[in-house]
Amino acid sequence: MNRNARLRQRGFAVIIALTLLALLAVMTTAILRETAAQRRYHRLLKEQAAARCLAESGIAEAMHALAHKPGVNALARKVRDGKLTARWQPAADAANVYVVTAEGIARADEPGAFRMSLSARVEVRPQGDGRPATVRIVSWNPP
């Protein structure tokens, strides 16, 4: 009888150990899935911020071109692993105002690249005497 009681206790200990091991495996899987989801989310935030910075840089470079190179109306540049483009044209409703549209592309060489477009109305005031024009943003049209 004493031997049977010890065997039952051992069997019960094995069941408890296996249950704890299964619980530990489930918890580890959940933690790994959550970690992977958090990494994807933070990568997306990073790419979104990079694309927005590239688009804002496109607006800034377009403003510089409007001040210094009045005949140019578009630009495109590759920056590290991203790309920026900008186009501008005179606004139909105001003199000396241009509508600038810029796009930033994070991870431009990879499939699934993140894109962000911005547009702004920019006023250009010629200075004369060979000096560059004064350029200022009148309004933004963020996404």
Q: Annotate 49-101 with three-state secondary structure.
A: HHHHHHHHHHHHHHHHHHHHCCCCCEEEEEECCEEEEEEEEECCCCCCEEEEE
Question: What's the total number of domains in the chain?
Answer: 1
Residue 95 clears pLDDT 60, i.e. is over it: yes
d(CA 123, CA 64): 12
Residue 25 clears pLDDT 90, i.e. is over it: yes
pLDDT of 143: 56
Domain containing residue 122: 2-141
* Residue 6 CB coordination number (10 Å): 10
Sorting pLDDT into bands at 50, 70 and 90, what band is 108?
confident
Residues 96-122: what's their mean pLDDT?
90
Residues 31-89 have pLDDT tens digits of: 999 999 999 999 889 999 999 999 999 999 999 999 988 778 899 999 888 999 999 99
Residue 116 clears pLDDT 60, i.e. is over it: yes
